[in-house]
């Protein structure tokens, strides 16, 4: 397989141009996937909230923590095929430090319409997120970010699993992700046509607190027949996941 400079988030690093889908076990078991779900889960099906999750670590760490059959494992890089994405939002009227609860006062599954009571006398009815005062930059307690936190949930198929994992990107990682997706678009590629690698880049905020940013890049472009299988897999799993499509 030939190598060439690909459109990615790492400034055009050399990557393998094509192939890689055959390494993903789920793509070779499409015919039996629904039967396996029925045998292992039953009539209740799968909820997106029950899938394994990967979080961007705190404190500027450059190691991911992933779940395996043997337990948790620390790795410097994760790879997978993006099969679905959602853009949740969450708002807490009272911070955790001041006694706020674990459940947000207002939330949105798609980043478009929110539901909840944001302030006293607020109506617990759907409202448009983009026009909400708490979705504006400068509305948080530091006067910089958004009081209603925007995140991105990336459902990613990994090589040795039949179900996707959910990679949750916090506000500080959203720009890196958007730039990466735009580079893929500029090179005529969809997010589900490549194998994406995610690394961690340590940073400091204006208050001197260390944190980590997720840094994506494309490492392989799937063959056309592999991409077709990914589309078939996504159509099968997406009804369980909820929210908006990544297409």
Q: What is the pLDDT of residues 81-110, one digit of tens each?
A: 999 999 999 988 887 655 555 788 898 888
> What is the C-alpha separation between 50 and 184, in angstroms, rounded?
30
> What is the C-alpha separation between 223 and 221, in angstroms, rounded?
7
Residue 171, pLDDT above cutoff 80:
yes
Residue 58, pLDDT above cutoff 50:
yes
Average pLDDT over residues 129-148: 88
When mean pLDDT is compared across 43-57, 77-91, 150-164, 188-202, the lowest value belongs to: 43-57
More confident residue, 245 or 152: 152
Residues sharing a CB contact under 8 Å with residue 183, sequence separation 6 or more, in sequence order: 7, 8, 9
Report the first-to-last Cα separation within the chain, whole angstroms. 28
When mean pLDDT is compared across 67-81, 110-124, 148-162, the lowest value belongs to: 110-124
> What is the C-alpha separation between 68 and 24, in angstroms, rounded?
16
Q: H helices of the chain, where?
A: 33-40, 174-186, 224-241
Maximum mean pLDDT: which of 37-51, 100-114, 167-181: 167-181
Percent of the chain clearing pLDDT 90 (strictly above): 47
For 214-230, what is the HEC assignment?
Answer: EEEEEEEECCHHHHHHH
The structure's pTM equals: 0.81
| Mean pLDDT rounded to a whole number for the chain | 84
pLDDT value, residue 141: 81
């Amino acid at each position: 397989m030939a190598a060439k400079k690909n459109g990615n988030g790492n400034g055009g690093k050399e990557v393998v141009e094509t192939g890689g889908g055959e390494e993903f076990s789920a793509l070779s078991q499409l015919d039996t996937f629904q039967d396996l779900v029925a045998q292992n889960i039953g009539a209740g099906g799968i909820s997106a909230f029950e899938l394994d999750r990967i979080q961007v670590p705190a404190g500027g760490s450059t190691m991911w923590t992933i779940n395996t059959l043997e337990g948790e494992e620390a790795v410097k890089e994760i790879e997978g095929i993006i099969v679905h994405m959602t853009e949740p939002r969450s708002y807490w009227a009272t911070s955790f430090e001041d006694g706020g609860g674990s459940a947000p006062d207002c939330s949105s599954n798609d980043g478009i319409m929110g539901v909840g009571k944001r302030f006293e006398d607020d109506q617990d009815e759907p409202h448009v997120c983009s026009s909400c005062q708490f979705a504006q930059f400068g509305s948080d307690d530091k006067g910089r970010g958004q009081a209603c936190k925007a995140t991105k949930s990336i459902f990613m198929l990994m090589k040795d699993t039949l179900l996707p994992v959910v990679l949750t990107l916090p506000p500080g990682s959203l720009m890196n992700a958007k730039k990466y997706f735009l580079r893929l678009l500029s090179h005529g590629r969809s997010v589900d046509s490549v194998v994406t690698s995610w690394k961690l880049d340590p940073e400091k905020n204006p208050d001197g607190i260390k944190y980590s940013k997720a840094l994506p890049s494309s490492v392989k472009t799937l063959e056309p027949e592999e991409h077709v299988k990914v589309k078939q897999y996504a159509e099968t799993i997406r009804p369980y996941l909820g929210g908006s499509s990544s297409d």
